[in-house]
Amino acid sequence: MTTDTDSHSVRPAARLRGEVAVPGDKSISHRALIFNALARGRARVDGFLASEDTESTINCLRLLGANIQQQPDGSVIVEGNGRAALHEASDVLDCGNSGTTMRLLAGLVAGLPGLAVLTGDETLRRRAMARIVRPLNELGARVTARAEGTLPPLVIQGGPIAGGQSFSPPMASAQVKSAILLAGLAADGPTTVVESAPTRDHTERLLAAMGATFQVSGSAVTITPPQGDLTAVDVRVPGDISTAAAWLVAATVHPDAELLLTGVGINPTRSGILDVLREMGADIELTEERTVGGEPVADLLVRSAPLHGIEISDPDLMPRMIDELPLAALAGALASGETVIRNAQELRVKESDRVATTAASLRAFGVDLEERDDGFRITGGATLHAASVDSAGDHRLAILGAVAGLLAQGETRVNGADVVAVSYPAFWSDLDRLSQD
């Protein structure tokens, strides 16, 4: 993991040119492993994102008895023998930096007999867990957590899961939804999640392909477990739009850029950044639209374009671009006029408090912005000057600092730079490759 001493320098690029085969989607990579580990049969996962976060998931699943082999070509084979083949882990489940690993595995182990202890790194141990502790307890697991049930480590005694329940999480969170649906898979009847706003639906798409039945009615999604085990399915993981977003924003705000991003997942529950950048004036062309592994995919051609500020506040939009909001704030700083981001309070409980850390980072580059409880007011037209910025142990913040550094005058330093390995291990080498003098 990141040390306090690792840092990376970024110089402004005269031009951005080239092609990026966008690395596999992190959310789908986690799910392809977890669901297939629970299923019966042999599944091959292609386009898998090899990263620190997904490595955490692999390690935890192996401790639970899953048979997972990483192949030399980057694919992963999961050999499942059904739920009954998973067992109590003989050690704590270390989820590293990964909130998705912790929350989804909490849902999984809630429905397995035995005791599980889930912990993580210093950052993950500060993240909000009451949101899954409460529903999993109501479903029949016995879940306790540090700080009166709010923070990791989590201790989960799996138990029979009671079907027929409905949950309405106050926050729009795909991780919370997925934890409940995973526990619901072990139930003796249907389980419903009513969402306050639609969140990424990779769990529903993949579990449906594996034999679970979903009924969607307005904002309510109900899972009916299959008779017997899930059936293993091969997964082709599309490129991660959250990763692509770095290049979408960099190329848009850079004065001389043209980048082709290939194989990017454009699932409508994830594509808010495309809508927002286009509304601001971005030039992004979608080509080769196709379906990969049950998910819509396209190549994205993005060129420099002048942007104008907008308001980003629709509650239904926020979950569609939650991880891209720091980059959207940077786009706002380089647009004409003002950009306002509201209803983004969930940003405060990510790998860092991303309202505070984004504000600190952009200010260091000379951006004039006001931090609000649930977002920012950003004065556009900024001229960025080089800065020394800290990732705060947050991969998205390290990438934000690097993209801003590409546009800033002088040499920028991103401290805590190695944390990009959480979601995008090749980030620094791709940055060098795409930057031309």
Cα distances (angstroms) measured from residue 95 to each of 56, 64, 120:
5, 13, 5
State the DSSP H helix or E strand holding residue 29, giving kind and residue range, or none if neither: helix 26-38
Q: Which of 2, 51, 175, 267 binds ligand S3P (CB under 6 A)?
A: 175
The residue among 53 and 229 lying less far from ligand S3P, judged by its C-beta, is 53
User: Stretches 169-177, 233-241, 292-300, 326-334: which one binds ligand S3P (CB under 6 A)?
Assistant: 169-177
Stretch that binds ligand S3P, among 57-65, 168-176, 215-223, 243-251 (CB under 6 A): 168-176
Closest approach of Cβ 30 to ligand S3P, in Å? 6
Q: Which helix (H) or strand (E) holds 364?
A: helix 354-364
Q: Shortest approach of ligand S3P to residue 190 CB, angstroms?
A: 21
Tell me: does residue 100 bind ligand S3P (CB under 6 A): yes
Long-range contacts of 424-430 (CB under 8 A, 24+ apart): 424/23, 424/51, 424/240, 424/243, 424/246, 424/395, 424/399, 425/23, 425/50, 425/51, 425/52, 426/23, 427/246, 427/398, 427/399, 427/402, 428/8, 428/402, 430/20
Phi, psi of 33 (to 5 degrees): -75, -50
Pick from 29, 56, 165, 173 the residue near ligand S3P by CB under 6 A: 173
Total residues at interface with ligand S3P (CB under 6 A): 10
| Contacts of residue 217, Cβ cutoff 8 Å, sequence gap at least 6 | none
Minimal distance in Å, beta carbon 318 to ligand S3P? 9
- Least Cα distance to 80 among 135, 36, 15 occurs for 36
Contact 120, 422 (CB under 8 A): no
List 2, 27, 271, 415, residue binding ligand S3P (CB under 6 A): 27
Q: Residue 407 CB, nearest distance to ligand S3P (Å)? A: 25
Asked if residue 21 lies in contact with residue 209, where contact means CB atoms within 8 angstroms, the answer is: no
CB of 200 to ligand S3P, least distance (A): 6
Site string for ligand S3P, 187-216 (x = CB under 6 A): -------------x----------------
Evaluate the omega torsion of the peptide bond into residue 153 and state whether it is cis, within 30 degrees of 0.
yes
Q: How far lies 74's CA from each of 44, 47, 235, 236, 295, in Å?
A: 11, 7, 13, 12, 20
CB of 178 to ligand S3P, least distance (A): 6
Rounded least distance, CB 325 to ligand S3P, Å: 10
Active site residue 53: no
Determine which residue in the list 121, 240, 323, 394 makes contact with ligand S3P, applying CB under 6 A. Answer: 323
Of 107-115, 167-175, 267-275, 301-309, which segment contacts ligand S3P by CB under 6 A? Answer: 167-175
Q: Binding of ligand S3P at residue 25 (CB under 6 A)?
A: no
Binding part of the chain for ligand S3P, among 172-180, 207-215, 219-227, 271-279 by CB under 6 A, reads 172-180
Tell me which of 94, 201, 229, 323 is the catalytic residue.
323
358 forms part of the interface with ligand S3P (CB under 6 A) = no
Residue with tokens 């139930």: 187
* Closest residue by Cα to residue 399 from 381, 380, 379, 414: 414
Confirm or reject binding of residue 174 to ligand S3P (CB under 6 A): yes
Residue 406 in tokens: 């590409």
377 contact partners, CB below 8 Å, separation of at least 6: 338, 339, 340, 369, 370
Binding footprint of ligand S3P on the chain (CB under 6 A): 27, 100, 173-175, 178, 200, 322-323, 346
Enzyme catalytic residues: 323
